Chains A and B, each alone.
Chain A
């Protein structure tokens, strides 16, 4: 089964409403229509707890108040080891990257990022899901 970019169902976890707005416009430009947003890790985990099957990829900011992106990743992995998880980060020091890798992060995207970079990352996820869903 081939999954195309436009078919992806994305959960954006980000505390800055301007960044959410920007990502939403980029995703919409790619033809993606199923976009969900959460303003922090707790809201994202609550959403995933009830609607996990609605989401193909979590796109999560690293630095957020209360719960970091790394903690969100850890908790997502306890219930779904295969959920593609794209970490969005403004600074990636080697220790943090190692921690995220050992917790099963799928890919990173460094801020500031262009629409093209985001598109490439999401294309990778679409190809990954196509293989997984055979």
Chain B
């Protein structure tokens, strides 16, 4: 037996996906040219504002130009996300953290007449994606839900683990089989008219009244999810409501170590911030995940130059730099030297894959340096950092840290 309706649905989705791809190419080109023009408009307007005399009329006119240019830049950013012309960060985002932040932001945005319900997964999950863009995508969906309910009703945000097999993945042109986190936003609103459902991800298509929507919220969600190697499911019924489900790749559970593996409470953070510089994506994500589990605030950089950029951007404290030694562009020693100049009290821990320390032979190492040899495990990482922060290891001295767990990272 051949399931014609299922085949027809798949064909329609494929056609829609190809259409969005073509629109994306066009939108990306337009956004690029607009960004060139906005650079000039915003740049000169700000400069003119800085140099303007005391004429209130001139100043307020220039301020309007700057505000409009900033708004336009926000729109082009969304267009670039839709057309997948923006780089996205890849991090393991914890659902528990995401829900906490969403709850704080959404309650005032949605208003008192919307009941906001969060249904977290049974055990905390992680998704492998860009945290900022994921947050923006869920906010866009929540605002659409609020508008569909005309200001009152229940909005449910749910996360569950989802194993997607070949058959299920075949129903969506963008989907691949695998392990996902299904993040859904469900409203009790008017539902989406079946006649327009195939167009809702097109840029500037909106069913909202003039002036209420830009028509870029859902295209942004679409582009972001596709770029994260995920896909979207829409379930909508007129008069009942809409559930939009984002399927995003599940973070590998190896990232999570138990409290015992990390030395119990002895090696936990005491309010410190750590900057990790590591060019190996998986190792950087893993170290971040372990350190966040220990309670540290974690900043990350993909190489030595990026570490200086993060340091330059950070107005607050950075207590410790955990850096690989060998990295492209600028190595860990160079990055440490640059950062120590600005933050003389920062502690430095080098991660090295060379037991002979041949890569650490360069002179004038910053003071207070500790070495963590790769491969390391959660315990040795937790202990080395705690000791470096407490000043209980001597400079450039490594010691054999007995790991209780067999798993080691960074080989």
Bound form: Cα–Cα A90–B227 in Å: 18
Are A104 and B329 closer than 8 Å at their CB atoms?
yes
Which listed segment binds A: B38-46, B135-143, B194-202, B291-299? B38-46
Bound form: Cα–Cα A30–B42 in Å: 18
Are A91 and B35 closer than 8 Å at their CB atoms?
yes
- Let me know if B63 is at the binding interface, CB within 8 A: no
Give chain B nearest CB distance to A57 CB in angstroms.
12
Cβ of B28: which chain A residues have Cβ within 8 Å of it?
Answer: 91, 93
- Let me know if B8 is at the binding interface, CB within 8 A: no
Bound form: Cα–Cα A127–B85 in Å: 30
Q: Give the nearest-CB partner of A127 in chain B.
A: B338
Cβ of A114: which chain B residues have Cβ within 8 Å of it?
Answer: 42-43, 46
Are B85 and A131 closer than 8 Å at their CB atoms?
no
Which listed segment binds A: B172-180, B185-193, B305-313, B393-401? B305-313
Cβ of B328: which chain A residues have Cβ within 8 Å of it?
Answer: 104
Cβ of A29: which chain B residues have Cβ within 8 Å of it?
Answer: 47
Bound form: Cα–Cα A126–B342 in Å: 13
Cβ of A33: which chain B residues have Cβ within 8 Å of it?
Answer: none
Bound form: Cα–Cα A134–B338 in Å: 10
The 8 Å CB contact of A127, one of B32, B313, B341, is B341
Cβ of A18: which chain B residues have Cβ within 8 Å of it?
Answer: 40, 44
Give chain B nearest CB distance to A22 CB in angstroms.
4
The 8 Å CB contact of B338, one of A16, A91, A130, is A130
The 8 Å CB contact of A91, one of B80, B313, B330, is B80
Bound form: Cα–Cα A104–B304 in Å: 13
Which listed segment binds B: A37-45, A66-74, A116-124? A116-124
Cβ of B330: which chain A residues have Cβ within 8 Å of it?
Answer: 128, 131
Q: Give the nearest-CB partner of A18 in chain B.
A: B40
Most buried by A among B33, B44, B83, B308: B308
- Let me know if B411 is at the binding interface, CB within 8 A: no
Q: Give the nearest-CB partner of A105 in chain B.
A: B329
The 8 Å CB contact of A120, one of B43, B84, B312, is B312
The 8 Å CB contact of B36, one of A92, A111, A131, is A111
Are B227 and A124 closer than 8 Å at their CB atoms?
no
The 8 Å CB contact of A132, one of B39, B46, B84, B334, is B334
- Let me know if B383 is at the binding interface, CB within 8 A: no
A-contact bits for B82-125, CB 8 A (1 contact / 0 none): 01111110000000000000000000000000000000000000
Bound form: Cα–Cα A127–B334 in Å: 10
Most buried by A among B87, B330, B342: B87
- Let me know if A99 is at the binding interface, CB within 8 A: no
B65-89 contacts to A (CB < 8 Å)? 69, 73, 80, 83-88
- Let me know if A34 is at the binding interface, CB within 8 A: no
The 8 Å CB contact of B47, one of A16, A25, A123, A127, is A25
Are B341 and A106 closer than 8 Å at their CB atoms?
no
Are B39 and A19 closer than 8 Å at their CB atoms?
yes
Q: A112 with B32: in contact, given A19-B39, A104-B328, A128-B338 (CB under 8 Å)?
A: no
Q: Give the nearest-CB partner of A104 in chain B.
A: B329
Q: A115 with B46: in contact, given A107-B309, A124-B308 (CB under 8 Å)?
A: yes
Bound form: Cα–Cα A63–B329 in Å: 23
Q: A22 with B32: in contact, given A91-B80, A120-B309, A124-B309 (CB under 8 Å)?
A: no
Give chain B nearest CB distance to A65 CB in angstroms.
13
Give chain A nearest CB distance to B373 CB in angstroms.
25
Bound form: Cα–Cα A91–B31 in Å: 8
Cβ of B334: which chain A residues have Cβ within 8 Å of it?
Answer: 128, 131-132
Bound form: Cα–Cα A39–B390 in Å: 54
Are B88 and A94 closer than 8 Å at their CB atoms?
yes
The 8 Å CB contact of A112, one of B38, B305, B308, is B38
Bound form: Cα–Cα A127–B116 in Å: 48
Cβ of B156: which chain A residues have Cβ within 8 Å of it?
Answer: none
Cβ of A91: which chain B residues have Cβ within 8 Å of it?
Answer: 28, 31-32, 35, 80, 83, 85-86
- Let me know if B16 is at the binding interface, CB within 8 A: no
The 8 Å CB contact of A63, one of B32, B44, B69, is B32
B-contact bits for A82-93, CB 8 A (1 contact / 0 none): 000000001111
Q: A112 with B87: in contact, given A90-B35, A124-B305, A124-B309 (CB under 8 Å)?
A: no
Cβ of A63: which chain B residues have Cβ within 8 Å of it?
Answer: 32
Give chain B nearest CB distance to A5 CB in angstroms.
11
Cβ of A134: which chain B residues have Cβ within 8 Å of it?
Answer: 364
Further 13 A-B residue pairs, CB within 8 A, beyond A93-B87, A111-B39: A18-B44, A90-B34, A90-B39, A91-B31, A91-B83, A91-B85, A92-B86, A94-B88, A111-B35, A115-B43, A127-B308, A131-B334, A134-B364
Which 6 pairs show the lowest CB-CB distances between chains A and B?
A90-B35, A91-B85, A112-B39, A90-B32, A112-B38, A111-B35
